[in-house]
Structure 1
Amino acid sequence: MFGGGGGLNPRKMKQMMNQMGIDLEDIDAEEVIIRTPEEELVFHNAEVQRMDAQGQQTYQVVGEPDSRPRGEGGDTDEAGAIEDADASGGGSSSDFSEQDVEIVAQRAGVPEETARETLEETGDLAAAVQQLEDE
């Protein structure tokens, strides 16, 4: 990102990023799962950072994933994994847990009922938050 940044100490780099409106946060993740149509990439004990810059969130995952094929039956929720923001929904309230509703309500600053309705309408956590923030 910064050319010749080898001479900057981490504290100075963080100070410069804060001045530019970039916020970094380490996330204590136990597991990260990336699902593609063909496989799941499962990162155990991965290093995860979230960067907030200009209203956009970017996640960086560092680690070695285990790869496992996805089954025809859609057996994707192993060990109680929670649907993440990129999961597609079918439009019914059963597609979203109470935790999903709470996340959208908290992130968008709206009542849970409004969050639930928007989740049902959009079928996606990220889209629901974005729609509510744009209103």
Structure 2
Amino acid sequence: MHGFRGTNPKQMERMMKQLGVSVEDIENVEEVIIKTSSKEYLFKNPSVTMMIAQGQKTFQVIGEPEITESGASEEDIDLVSSQANVSREDAKKVLEECNGDIAEAILKLQPK
């Protein structure tokens, strides 16, 4: 665990333990992926720490992410295409307009 400004990491660990907070470094992490409706953050070989306080787990990921725009997955395109009975191209286009929301895309593509 990394110390606070001028604080010995061992002292910090003891203080946190007294407060009922446990901290654990997760070893050998190869990658962490965070997906949002519009982007994907890929951390390769990050430093990951898990903190448990009051029954809640919090994860800290340290590293430089590769950020990409996330498009619709092939499975999502196939699902929308089959459910709305439209081409894959139309399904992909509408999925992107709906920010990957499958239900909204299907509803938009259904005849009125």
TM-score bracket relative to the smaller structure:
0.5 to 0.7
Counterpart residue type for residue 49 of structure 2 = Q
Aligned residue for 1:41, secondary structure, equals strand
TM-score (norm 2): 0.59
> Could you tell me how far apart the structure 1 residues matched to 2:64 and 2:52 are?
24
Question: Please, which runs of 5 or more residues in structure 1 have no aligned partner?
Answer: 76-135
Counterpart residue type for residue 42 of structure 2 = V
Higher relative contact order (CA 8 A, sep 6+): 2
Over the residues paired in the alignment, what is the CA RMSD in angstroms? Answer: 1.4
1:65-101 deviations in whole A, cap 9, x for unaligned? 00122122357xxxxxxxxxxxxxxxxxxxxxxxxxx
Whether 1:15 aligns to 2:40 is no
Shift of 1:57: 0.5
Is the alpha carbon distance of 1:22 and 1:41 closer, same or farther for their aligned partners in structure 2, counting shifts above 3 Å?
A: same
TM-score (norm 1): 0.49
Which aligned runs of 4 or more in structure 1 are off by greater than 6 angstroms? none
Whether 1:54 aligns to 2:69 is no
* 2:103 equivalent in structure 1: none
Question: Please, which runs of 5 or more residues in structure 2 have no aligned partner?
Answer: 76-112
* 1:41 equivalent in structure 2: 41
Aligned residue for 2:71, secondary structure, equals coil
Aligned residue for 1:37, secondary structure, equals coil
Counterpart residue type for residue 26 of structure 2 = I
Counterpart residue type for residue 10 of structure 2 = R
| Identical counterparts, % of pairs | 46
How many residues get paired? Answer: 71
